[in-house]
Amino acid sequence: MLLRHPVLSIATLGYLAVVAWVTLGPQPLDDEGRGILMRIIRRLQGYDATDWITYSGVEFTANVLMFVPIGVFFVLLLGRRGWWAAILLGVGLTVGIETTQLFLHDRVPDVRDLASNSIGTVIGVLAALLVTWPKARRLARGRSRGASAVRT
């Protein structure tokens, strides 16, 4: 798998390294960064159309979005038939991250992170299946034509 797709494998490992740094490294938002984000959220809450936006919602959405590429990468590496393994790997990855955070003094594991990361993985898997579906269908038709030609 890794040898068949070396560029995809390197891209996947690179992205996983970034996710590890973001989730296990020093807190990404210091007081200044958090202050800017909170000012933006407060500004958005000042409008009727966007008053529903909260820090918790932004964080949840960011976690979902961070794991969408993981679902895509895993399906591309494992193949369409391995969609279920891609989901298991993504969920396993987030369980590993949250468990590791138990032992880091400046990180706090959160069940919401487990949920949002898993949702992101599933969305990524579904997106990869949807995008690769036309080609998979063409390949299946080609195989069925080839099989019928051999029978005649």
Radius of gyration over every alpha carbon of the chain, rounded to an integer in angstroms: 20
49 versus 125: the higher-pLDDT residue is 125
Cα separation, 132 vs 136, whole angstroms: 6
Contacts of residue 103, Cβ cutoff 8 Å, sequence gap at least 6: none
Q: Name the pTM for this structure.
A: 0.82
**Percent of the chain's residues with pLDDT above 70:** 88
In this prediction, residue 144 has a pLDDT band, given cuts at 50, 70 and 90, of confident
Residue 106 and residue 27 in contact, taking contact as beta carbons nearer than 8 Å: yes
Least confident among 26-35, 37-46, 79-88: 26-35
Cα separation, 25 vs 127, whole angstroms: 29
Asked if the model's pLDDT at residue 100 lies above 60, the reply is yes
Q: Please give the average per-residue pLDDT across 28-57, as a whole number.
A: 80
Residue 34 and residue 92 in contact, taking contact as beta carbons nearer than 8 Å: no
Buried/exposed code over 72-98 (b: 16+ C-beta within 10 A; e: otherwise): bbbbbbbebebbebbbebbbebbeebb
Domain boundaries, the chain: 6-151
Residue 58 and residue 66 in contact, taking contact as beta carbons nearer than 8 Å: no
